[in-house]
């Protein structure tokens, strides 16, 4: 009898695989529906909600993630000019990259679309006496940003930055290709050195195997590589070919690339204005 119950119990546990399959199917359907039907404004609002309430991005919370990842340290060592220098950080969250760059000897201007996260970054800058100028705005707003109290700041009015970096994977959170290109172009106009970004990598160039996904892409409802999860919101997985095309369309040339996505690493690229 005990053997019978053991086998029955094993079969019940095995049957829970159906739950995993159902959840996976639901995730894929949700991603397809959201990326096809949600407006840019809705997705931007969702991303602000998802990140603005996450403790690891809030510089005033004990859970705040403080250090550079391996790939970020590699990027800085490979392509940034040696400190001292001025660095522009976009999509900065609570300032993780900004404060680490300050510790390396740079002066940093950082901007973030979420006023709550930008406020936490400003509070930390004050409490640590770190030279981080904190502004509020999106890549689409460049070069016109604002202070936390609403005063307009035009970054073109100041000297050029020595380097710029789009905060961790924020490049891939820009929904439209044209806006990604515009972000690179705007940052390059403000920067004499490299413009760097990490991104979600999609392998190959094949069209989507899901016929519904392929149809929605053909109809212009979404783009191949568009994804959504409730944890990180909208993101676009790009191929190296797409990345290079966007860099070229922004009038830049790629100066460095890493496809390493091993433990502690993330794909990234650096681009710059062509040398005369």
State pLDDT tens for residues 145-192: 999 999 999 999 999 999 999 999 999 999 999 999 999 999 999 999
Residue 38 confidence class, pLDDT cut points 50, 70, 90: very high
Pick the CATH number of 41-203+237-272 from 3.40.50.150, 1.20.1050.10, 3.40.50.740, 3.40.50.720: 3.40.50.150
Q: Are 113 and 179 in contact (CB under 8 A)?
A: no
Q: In the predicted model, what is the mean pLDDT of the chain?
A: 91
Task: Tell which residue, 259, 255, 248, has the closest CA to residue 271.
Answer: 255
Q: Which sequence spans correspond to the domains of the chain? A: 41-203+237-272
What's the pLDDT band for 48 if we cut at 50, 70, 90? confident
Any idea which of 6-15, 155-164, 253-262 has the lowest mean pLDDT? Answer: 6-15
Q: Which residue has the higher pLDDT, 3 or 90?
A: 90
The rounded distance, in Å, linking the Cα atoms of 134 and 132 is 6
Model pTM greater than 0.85?
A: yes
Range name among 34-43, 80-89, 192-201 with the lowest pLDDT average: 34-43
């Amino acid at each position: 009898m005990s053997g019978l119950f053991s086998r029955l119990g094993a079969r019940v546990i095995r049957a829970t695989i159906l739950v995993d399959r159902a959840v996976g199917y639901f995730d894929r359907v949700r991603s397809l529906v959201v990326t096809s039907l949600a407006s840019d404004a809705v997705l931007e609002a969702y991303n602000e909600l998802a990140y603005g309430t996450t403790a690891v991005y809030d510089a005033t919370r004990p859970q705040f993630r403080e250090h550079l990842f391996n790939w970020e340290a590699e990027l800085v060592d490979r392509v940034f000019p040696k400190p001292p220098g001025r660095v522009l950080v976009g999509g900065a969250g609570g300032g993780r990259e900004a404060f680490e760059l300050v510790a390396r000897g740079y002066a940093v201007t950082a901007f973030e679309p979420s006023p709550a996260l930008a406020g936490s970054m400003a509070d930390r800058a004050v409490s640590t006496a770190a030279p981080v100028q904190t502004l509020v705005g999106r890549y689409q707003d460049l070069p016109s940003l604002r202070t936390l109290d609403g005063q307009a700041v035009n970054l073109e009015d100041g000297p050029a930055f020595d380097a710029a970096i789009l905060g961790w994977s924020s490049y891939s959170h820009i929904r439209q290709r044209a806006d990604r290109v515009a972000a690179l172009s705007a940052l390059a106009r403000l920067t004499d050195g490299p413009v760097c970004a990490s991104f979600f990598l999609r392998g190959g160039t094949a069209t989507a195997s899901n016929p519904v996904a392929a149809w929605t892409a053909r109809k212009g409802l979404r783009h191949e590589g568009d994804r959504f999860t409730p944890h990180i919101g909208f993101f676009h997985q790009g191929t190296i070919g797409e990345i290079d095309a966007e860099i070229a369309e922004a009038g830049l040339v790629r100066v460095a690339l890493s496809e390493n996505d091993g433990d502690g690493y993330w794909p990234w690229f650096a681009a710059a204005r062509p040398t005369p």
